[in-house]
Structures are given as C-alpha cells and as structure tokens.
Amino acid sequence: MAKQAQLAGVVALLIASLQSAHAETVNGGTIAYAMTSLRWATYLKPDARVDCPDGVNDGPREQFSALFPDNGQPRELAKTQLQREVQNWFPTTRPDYFPFREPGGTQALGLNLDGKVDPEDFTSLDGEPGIDNQMYRALGCINSHRDAQGINDSLNSGEIVSNEYNRTLVELNGVDDLANDDEVEVKIYRGLDALHMDAGGKDILPGGTQRIDVRWGRKFIQRLDGKIVDGILTTEPSDLLIPWAVFNLPADEYVRDARLRLTLSPTRAEGLIAGFTDVESWHLQMMKSQSTHCQSYGQQSAMSIYKAMRRFADAYPDPRTGANTAISSALRTTFTQVFILPESKAALASAGPLPRATMYGGTPHPRTPEEEAGDLPGRAVATREP
Amino acid sequence: MPTPPGVRVQATELEGPVFADAKGRTLYRWPLGQLRNGPTGDPPGKSECSDQRIEVSAGLMSPYPSGLRLPDLERRPACTDLWPPFKANERARPVGDWTILKRKDGTFQWAYEGFAVYTSVLDRRPGDVLGGRSDKRGGDSPIMREPIKPPPDVPPGFSVTTKSTGRLLVTEKGYSVYSSDHDISGKSKCDAACAETWIPILAPAFAQPNGEWSLVERSAGVKQWAFQDRPLYTYRLDGDTNKLKGSDVPGWHNVYLQRAPAPPAGFTVQDTTVGQVLADAQGRTIYTYFCGDDAMDQLACDHPTLTQAYRLAICGGGDPGRCLRAFPYVTAPEDAKSTSRAWSVITIEPLTGRLASPKQQGALRVWAYRDRPVYTFAGDRRPGDAFADGHGEFRGQRNGFKAFWLRDDFFNGDQPGPG
C-alpha cells in the first residue's frame, strides 16, 4: 500500500511536471502583439480552374470593353467612363448582366458564426461543418484576392506593416497561462510606432515597443472577452473596427460580431478574425484603397463585387427593407509580440470617455428604395446587356 | 532678381510671394509631367496650350481609353481661353531666368526657367491665385498649373511648403522646423538632454545673418540658425516629413513664414482618426471638390464657371437633387462676411452648380474656398467622420472630394490640402 502511495505520488509529480512544461507563464499576466498581416480568407488551390471551374471574373477594363466596344462610333465620356464611376461610388443591387463566377468547392476557411449547419455553409479544412464565409463566394474567383495572383491582396496586407495608421495592437490581460486560461481580457488599440525589423528590413522581429494612440486612435480602443484553450485564444463576439488604410486615405473595416481565433506563442500569434463584415464599409474601404485603375490590375470590378456581396449577405437585415447588410467572412492574420510602454498605459488611463466607432452607412445615408434598386437617371446605358 | 519689364512680386494669402504681370495678375507655368499612360504639359521652350478646342479624352489615366468625347463640348473652352499666354513683344530680350519662346502663331511668349508663362482668367484681382496651386494633390492628379514664385527667402538647407495651415518652414529634406517659447533673447535654453529630442539646426561656419535670419552660438564655434530671434530645431519624434506633432509639446511651435487666413466664423476643428479637419458649426467635416479632365490640356473642371458634368456624376450619379442630399453646400448666413480673400460667399444655382446672380430665385448663398464651393457629406454621422475623403475618381485626386485637412499625422503629411 505504501509502495502504491509512493508510486501514485511519483506519477502525480510527473504529471504536474509535464503540465508545467506545457504551461506558458506570462510576465505580469499581460502579453501584447502587433498585427503584421491581414488578408481576406480565400482558400485557394494553386490552379484557379480547381476553385473556379467557370473561370475568374472580369475586371473594369474587360467590362468597359464589353459594354462600350471601339467600333468606330463616337463614345461619350459622360455616358461611359463617368457612368462606370457612378456605379462604383453609388453601387446598387441591380444586376449588371455580367456573369458572376463563384468558387465551386465546399471547403473554406472561417468559423461557424451562427452555431448552425446550413446548406450554404462550407466545411473547414479539418472537416468542421457549418463554416460561415459567404465573403469567399464573392472574392474567391477575383484574381485580386487569389494568393498567387492577388496583387491587391498582397498590397493591402503590406500596408498593415508599412502604414502606421494600421498599427493594430492586441493586448491580453489576466493571463495565468498562455496555453490555457478560461478568462482573459483582450484589449485592442492602435499603436503609434514602426514595427521592429531585422537588419535586412525584411523580417519582423518580436520584442519591439509600441505606444498606444490615445489621441487620434480613440475609436480603435476596444475590449473583448476571451479564453485560451490548448494555446488557442477565442473571443466572444463583439463589433470590431479595424484600421486598414491603403494609399494614404483613411479607411477602416467594420466587422460585426467579430471574434478572434488566434494560436498564441510567446513571440507570435496567428489565425482568424471572423464575423459579419458590413458590406458598405467593405465597399468604401475597397474604393478608397484602389481606384478603378488599381482595381483593373486584379480584375476587381467594384460594382460587380458589391452586387455579389449584397446577394450573398447573410446577416443584419436592414429594418426598412429586410435586405441583409453584412456578410459572413474571415480574415487571416498574423501578429508579432510587442511591449506596450507603461507611460502609454498611463496616458490611456487619463484619456477620458472613448467615442463609439461609427459604421459607414452608404452614400448617401440612408438611401431611398429607388436608389437601393438602382432606378436612377442615367443608368440605362451603363447597365445595358453587353 | 532681374525680371521682364512690368513683372513684379505680388503678395498672396495662400501662396506667399508670386510673380505677377503689370496688372498684378499671377503668372503660372505648366511643366511637362508624367501620367499613367503618358506625359502632357509644356516641355521646355514650347507651349502646348493652344487656341484649338480639344474634343476627346487623351486616355492618360487608365483604365479608360482615349477618344471619348468630352462633356459639355459646346461650352468647353480652348486652353488659351482659360490660360492666356503671357506675351512678350518683338523687342523683348531674355533677362535672368526669363526667356522668350515663339508660339505656333508666330507671337512671342515669356518663359520662366524654360517653361511658357500664362495668366489665369479665374484671377480677377491682384493677389488672386485661383487658377492653379503649388502644393501637390497626389500622383494621379492632373498636370497642374503652378504659380511662379521667387525663391523663398530662407538660407540654404531650408525650404517652405504650402499647407492648408500656411507656408510651413521645413528643412531641405522636408522635416518640420520648430521654435521654443523657452528660448528668449536669441539664446537657446535647450541643453544636451533637451537636444536629444529637439535637434538644433546647425549652421555652417561661414553662414551669415540676413534679415529675419540670425545665428546663435550654442558653444564655441557651433552656430545654430534662428528665425525672428528664435533658435530653430527639428523634432526627433516627428518621424516623417511635414509633421505638426512637435507643436503638441507645451511651449514648442511649428514655424510658419505666413499663416493661412482663418476660416469663417462658426467653423470648427474636429479630431479624426488621421488628425484634424475643418468642420462646420455642427462638427460636420468640410470637403472641397477637385477636378481636372483627362484631355491633353488637362483643364480644370472644379470651378462654378466650368463644366459641372464631372461633379454632378460623382456627387449624385448625375442627379442634381441627389447631389444636394449627398454633398450639401455649406450655406452662409445672410449677414456672413469673409475676412479674407481665400474664403468668400458666392451665389450658386443649386441644380446646375453654376454661379447665380445674388437676387436669383432659388439661388443659394454658400461658402467658397479659393472661389469654389465647399460641402459636407450626408454619410458622415458624427463629428470626426470623414467618410467621403477620397470619394471620386483616382481617390479624389482627379474628380472627387477631399476632406479639408488641417493636420495629418499618418500619411507622411501628404494628405493634399483643400482644393
């Protein structure tokens, strides 16, 4: 009996020892990370023909040529170029007669946002059903958002590093163990400083310092509740405003019921931000990031994508029309560990009440039913069947 | 500085000293520049601005092709209708940086630093600079006509940049220059620890004082530039060019050679996620509209006397009523008066966007900046929103709206100033 007790004690010690080997203590219970990449989660095979059996979509240049061929007849700038720009800046749900090609597969990245398994849902790469990512249907066959060819996708993600407007920080507080903790506080800030790079200026290194932007970045200060299970942080749904400016114009993404799912380590974090993206905010961010010229690089027709997003939108119905205004989506993201300077936290403590983030509501706000449907003067020519 | 007969230096509110003709009309040039699909503008020694009306687009800005018939063609002016050449008579001779070129019609035109010189029909009084501007609107903006200026009166190593807040003194590399209230009587109180953050702008040993510029001795043989008896510094935490961050530190100020005129009474300043914008009394962000067409002569389309086809398309999809809802004019009270030339009250036909007579029925009295109306945006719901910043072609650099930025902390200080 004594031997058995002795053995049990040894086993208990061994288990405790093993557990402590897996536990990751966090100095002071706080660890922070800075975002280093952000891309819409479009799961892709290298060969577009696998994901998009009908091919990829046309962009502004191809659509313009189809609508207004150079056949020797005079073409009016006001009825061609300007009308295309009108549809970009005042998008509607009216069909544009161009076929919209969407991915043909059943797998997608993302999370089960509504806890249900619906016919239009996807299956995750590891077999989880009920994945909500209708954004993938809208972007999966747009060259610009395909990994290898997605030049605008790469450019937009590159701005997360290079543009300090986009310096999103995630701070975890009350962390007893980075591997498992059933209650952590997650604070979101905008940082003010460049990321810590290696000597070659290529790789981002952990351990840099950041100040919190408590003046211009007050709208980005947000709080989430989370837990850590087996090294994966998951947060409760909450609306999230993410700064994402490209080409020197302020622009943000507004994701409703957003949740983080990040695999944590002491030096980095990576995973998904999933939720229901506000379609109007998405469209505005895209229009501000890329003019029609830049959209043409990646066959990214703003007006066609808007129509697709409104068709695929699956949440937050407009109380006036019943039409959904948000689309299930996921963003792939990576972070590197940073230290937030204590004096910055002190400034935050005295920053006073924080403003609520504003979600863009469309142009103008609110729209009339006629505007929503696209029944506006001057649309007939530019929306004609090619 | 030698100039042609009659050419003088004229003080202006926004651009500082510019060259003007004998009647005080600002002189401009239009140097050749590269656009997406090719160049346009004047090459040295030649004027491309003709009296022939251009009828089709040049296709210089992708993705749209060339050859599209331009809007309001029957009313479209020729280049010289808007930009009369600054003519030289047959007996004129080159002087200093001023030379003479021969136009296609055989007449002679002054050139400055090789580029043909023009006046603008939009300028009505001495000191107006309504035709063009010196600050850049971004890489996709039209090839701009720029006012011709004498070199700024600053020592080597300094420069002046025109911002919405005034003519900002910067180093030759574009970093903002600061002075301190702590420095009195031409002495620097910034010790070694202070100089870690505030970097004294040192002068070479042979530098000499000149006018408002003087030298203070930091230590034996080490001289620091001073302007108006204030020693000058850069701010280490600015990080980038054209910044105003250092002026947040109590007692420290950006240095201006000239401040911009104050906006009308009742206008406000609002914080945004980028910096500060000018706003109306209710805190709604003020926008300016900017437009240059895609023809070889790159004529402006943002003035109430010029075509409104571009603006009506981009502010309301071609529907004037929708324009008024989406981008309302900023109306001026009956008794409103401007204290500057930069800001004025003009009368507009709301449905056409054209100038109206003051008594015209239905006309609106609206605030204008540089003779062009300013707007708010219906999509902005709270003070500090600036959702329409960049609304329009090429992110607002070609045919679109820009917020009236007073301060930009994030985009290298390059948020273009108001249109």
For the residues of A337-378, what is the DSSP string, one character each?
A: EEEE-HHHHHHHHTS-SPPPPPPP--SSSSPPHHHHHT--TT
Nearest beta carbon to residue A243 from set B68, B273, B389: B273
Outline where B68-205 has alpha helix (H): 79-82, 194-197
Nearest beta carbon to residue B71 from set A77, A216, A365: A77
Chain B residues whose beta carbon lies within 8 Å of the beta carbon of residue A74 = 69
Are B395 and A379 a contacting pair at CB < 8 A? no
Are B273 and A217 a contacting pair at CB < 8 A? yes
Chain B residues whose beta carbon lies within 8 Å of the beta carbon of residue A376 = 317-319, 322
Determine the residue among A248, A254, A344 to mutate to test chain B binding: the one whose Cβ has the most chain B Cβ atoms within 10 Å: A248
Nearest beta carbon to residue B318 from set A70, A86, A252: A86
Supply the pTM of this predicted model: 0.93
Chain A residues whose beta carbon lies within 8 Å of the beta carbon of residue B310 = 82
Say what angle helices A81-89 and B309-316 make with each other, to 10 degrees.
Answer: 30
pLDDT classification of A36: cutoffs 50, 70, 90: very high
How far apart are the CA of B102 and the nearest CA of chain A, in angstroms? 34
What pLDDT score was predicted for residue B166? 94
What pLDDT score was predicted for residue A238? 96
Q: Is the pLDDT of residue A360 over 90?
A: no
Residue B101, token pair as written in the block: 């070129």
Chain B residues whose beta carbon lies within 8 Å of the beta carbon of residue A249 = 389-390, 395-396, 411
What pLDDT score was predicted for residue A16? 45
- Name, in order, each residue with C-beta under 8 angstroms of B302's C-beta and a sequence gap of 6 or more: B289, B290, B291, B292, B311, B372, B419
Chain B residues whose beta carbon lies within 8 Å of the beta carbon of residue A293 = 36, 61-63, 140, 394
Q: What is the pLDDT of residues B39-61, one digit of tens each?
A: 999 999 999 999 999 999 999 99
How far apart are the CA of B134 and the nearest CA of chain A, in angstroms? 20
Determine the residue among A89, A280, A290, A292 to mutate to test chain B binding: the one whose Cβ has the most chain B Cβ atoms within 10 Å: A89
Chain A residues whose beta carbon lies within 8 Å of the beta carbon of residue B390 = 249, 287-288
CB contact A358 to B (< 8 Å): yes
What pLDDT score was predicted for residue A5? 52
CB contact A342 to B (< 8 Å): no
What pLDDT score was predicted for residue A156? 84
Q: Is A9 helix (H, G, I), strand (E, B) or coil?
A: helix
What pLDDT score was predicted for residue B418? 60
Interface of A with B in 46-65 (CB under 8 A): 60-61, 64
What value does the mean pLDDT of chain A take? 87
Are A82 and B62 a contacting pair at CB < 8 A? no
Q: Is the pLDDT of residue A79 over 50?
A: yes
Are B325 and A364 a contacting pair at CB < 8 A? yes
Are A376 and B274 a contacting pair at CB < 8 A? no
What pLDDT score was predicted for residue A350? 84
Q: What residues form DSSP beta bridges with A272?
A: A261, A332
In angstroms, rounded to a whole number, what is the distance separating the alpha carbons of residues A229 and B339? 65
CB contact A254 to B (< 8 Å): no
Nearest beta carbon to residue A85 from set B70, B393, B410: B393
Q: Is the pLDDT of residue A367 over 80?
A: no
Are A360 and B71 a contacting pair at CB < 8 A? no
What pLDDT score was predicted for residue B142? 93
Average pLDDT over residues A336-342: 97
In angstroms, rounded to a whole number, what is the distance separating the alpha carbons of residues B237 and B249? 11
CA-based nearest residue to A142, from A304, A327, A294 = A304
Chain A residues whose beta carbon lies within 8 Å of the beta carbon of residue B57 = 77, 81
What pLDDT score was predicted for residue A113? 98
Query: What is the ipTM score, two decimals?
Result: 0.93
Are B313 and A78 a contacting pair at CB < 8 A? yes
Are B69 and A74 a contacting pair at CB < 8 A? yes
Q: Is the pLDDT of residue A21 over 80?
A: no
Q: What are the pLDDT tens digits along chain B (419 aa)?
A: 899 999 999 999 999 999 999 999 999 999 999 999 999 999 999 999 999 999 999 999 989 999 999 999 999 999 999 999 999 999 999 999 999 999 999 999 999 999 999 999 999 999 999 999 987 767 789 999 999 999 999 999 999 999 999 999 999 999 999 999 999 877 899 999 999 999 999 999 999 999 999 999 999 899 999 999 999 999 999 988 999 999 999 999 999 999 999 999 999 999 999 999 999 999 999 999 999 999 999 999 999 999 999 999 999 999 999 999 999 999 999 999 999 999 999 999 999 999 999 899 999 999 999 999 999 999 998 999 999 999 999 999 999 999 999 999 998 665 655 64
What pLDDT score was predicted for residue A3? 54
Q: What residues form DSSP beta bridges with B116?
A: B111
Q: Is the pLDDT of residue A187 over 80?
A: yes
Length of chain A (residues): 386
How far apart are the CA of B271 and the nearest CA of chain A, in angstroms? 7
H or E stretch at B225 = strand B222-227
Pair B120, B182: CB distance under 8 Å:
no
CA-based nearest residue to A276, from A220, A238, A303 = A238
Chain B residues whose beta carbon lies within 8 Å of the beta carbon of residue A245 = 410-411
What pLDDT score was predicted for residue A381? 32
How far apart are the CA of A89 and the nearest CA of chain B, in angstroms? 7
Interface of A with B in 87-126 (CB under 8 A): 89-90
Average pLDDT over residues A72-81: 96
Parallel, antiparallel, or unpaired: how do β-strands A324-340 and A208-210 relate?
parallel
Find the range with the poorest average confidence among A269-278, A283-292, B321-330: A283-292
CB contact A75 to B (< 8 Å): yes
**Domain range summary for chain A, segments of one domain joined by +:** 28-352
Nearest beta carbon to residue B378 from set A81, A288, A364: A364
CB contact A227 to B (< 8 Å): no
What pLDDT score was predicted for residue B97? 97
- Name, in order, each residue with C-beta under 8 angstroms of A260's C-beta and a sequence gap of 6 or more: A170, A186, A224, A226, A233, A234, A235, A271, A272, A273
In angstroms, rounded to a whole number, what is the distance separating the alpha carbons of residues B82 and B132? 11
Are B314 and A293 a contacting pair at CB < 8 A? no
Query: Which residue of B lies nearest to A246 if distances are taken between CA atoms?
Result: B411
pLDDT classification of A201: cutoffs 50, 70, 90: confident
Interface of A with B in 143-162 (CB under 8 A): none
How far apart are the CA of B335 and the nearest CA of chain A, in angstroms? 30
What value does the mean pLDDT of chain B take? 95
Distances (CA, A) of B31 to A223, A352, B45, B106, B134: 52, 51, 10, 21, 12
CA-based nearest residue to B337, from B285, B288, B266 = B266
Q: Is the pLDDT of residue A119 over 60?
A: yes
pLDDT classification of A369: cutoffs 50, 70, 90: low
Pair A362, A315: CB distance under 8 Å:
no
Count CA atoms closer than 13 A to B85's CA, side-chain side. 25
Determine the residue among B410, B412, B414, B415 to mutate to test chain A binding: the one whose Cβ has the most chain A Cβ atoms within 10 Å: B410
